[in-house]
Amino acid sequence: MAVPKGKVSKARRNSRRANWKLSLPSIVECPQCHQMKLDHHVCKHCGYYNGKQVINMDAKEA
């Protein structure tokens, strides 16, 4: 069985867990409709991605 070589202090143990924080998603402005959208995602308002229309938003409304 695996047995620890020596005692690990609370500070050393807790410092390993110090970098487990979450980061906020990067939100950018859509170049087409100027609404805020997630980076590297299709815009939910106009359906454009990388200057091309990917989703037809007119069909979504009906």
**What pLDDT shows up at residue 60?**
61
**What pLDDT shows up at residue 58?**
84
**What pLDDT shows up at residue 37?**
96
pTM over 0.75: no
Give the domain ranges of the chain: 25-62
Q: What are residue 28's DSSP bridge partners?
A: 37
Nearest to 46 by CA among 28, 60, 27: 60
Q: Is 43 exposed, middle or buried (0-12, 13-18, 19+ CB in 10 A)?
A: buried
Give me the average pLDDT of each 10-residue run along the chain (62 residues).
91 90 92 95 94 85 54
